[in-house]
Amino acid sequence: MEDGVVTGVETANGEKFSAKRIVSNIGARETVDRLLPDGHGHDDWVNEIRSIGPNICHYSLFLGFEGDVEAAGMTKSNHWLYPTGEVDAIWTDAPVGTPQGMFVSFASLKDPAHDPGPQKKYAGEIMVWSDWSTVEQWAGVPPGERGDDYQSFKQQVAENLLSQFANYFPRLAELIVFHELSTPLATASITGHRMGSFYGLDVTPRRVMTDALRMKTPIDGFYLTGQDVLSPGIPGAFWGGFLCAGSIDPKVFMSMRAS
């Protein structure tokens, strides 16, 4: 930045790119925490963004099946399972207790190019919504150094999810030959989203109403895009990108109309 206006981006390895306009897609909170230079002079804006908490995080259990899966009940459908009927609850006591919500999907059946081969191999996934507090104790420890208690925790989560799966899909459960768990720590590491919050900032009335999440930030030439400027998920990220492009050049809206 020079005189309060953006001038470019410098990467971690020191490469410099000059630009009059810069768009950040890494998330609003991640942007203000990681990308801004010291002394930018917009602390009120940064503090407002920091006052909005993270969204939920999740565990995924990736499954491998072998056998006649369709005869055992596998379909192309997605399954949203809420045993108590409470759709706003998340699994806060992992690895014990029952996850309040579970998403189950079988990707191979949706892929027309999938070749199950002679062993009839298929993939599936279980996803449950959770809270960062369930893994927080290992957050500062690099992967590979989290110790036996983390491995034991992961094993308990995996066993819990397999047991839930077996309740709903008993015949399919018998065909599982492989499973691999990802925790919110993996989401944080792979997507860069703080606290594994793959849906970005929490959707509260404050988040929806705040001026701090506009595409055009108070820093001249600096823009936010993606889900945090609109709403969580892929549609929110798409429209966030579209609105950001339109706020840089309104002709974008006209081109959308023409097509």
* Positions in the binding site for ligand FAD (CB under 6 A): 25-26, 30, 34, 60, 187, 191-193, 198-199, 226-227, 232-234, 237
* Cα distance between residue 200 and residue 215, in whole Å: 15
CB of 95 to ligand FAD, least distance (A): 19
- With respect to ligand FAD, which residue has the nearer C-beta, 67 or 230? 230
- With respect to ligand FAD, which residue has the nearer C-beta, 12 or 113? 12
- With respect to ligand FAD, which residue has the nearer C-beta, 146 or 193? 193
CB of 134 to ligand FAD, least distance (A): 16
Q: Are 31 and 229 in contact (CB under 8 A)?
A: no
Residues constituting the chain? 259
What crossing angle do the helices spanning 234-248 and 251-258 adopt, rounded to 10°? 120
Structure tokens at 171: 């015949």
- With respect to ligand FAD, which residue has the nearer C-beta, 67 or 188? 188
Q: Is the dihedral of CA 157, 163, 168, 169 positive or negative?
A: positive
- With respect to ligand FAD, which residue has the nearer C-beta, 116 or 242? 242
Q: Where are the beta strands (DSSP E) in 67-225?
A: 79-81, 102-105, 121-130, 176-182, 222-224
Contacts by 165-169 with C-beta closer than 8 Å and gap 24+? Answer: 165/61, 165/63, 165/104, 165/126, 168/79, 168/81, 168/104, 169/72, 169/73, 169/74, 169/104
CB of 25 to ligand FAD, least distance (A): 5
CB of 104 to ligand FAD, least distance (A): 13
Q: Which residues lie closer than 8 Å to 88 by C-beta, 6 or more apart?
A: none
**Hunting for tokens 């801004």 — which residue is that?**
36
CB of 170 to ligand FAD, least distance (A): 26
- With respect to ligand FAD, which residue has the nearer C-beta, 30 or 131? 30
CB of 232 to ligand FAD, least distance (A): 5
Q: Are 167 and 99 in contact (CB under 8 A)?
A: no
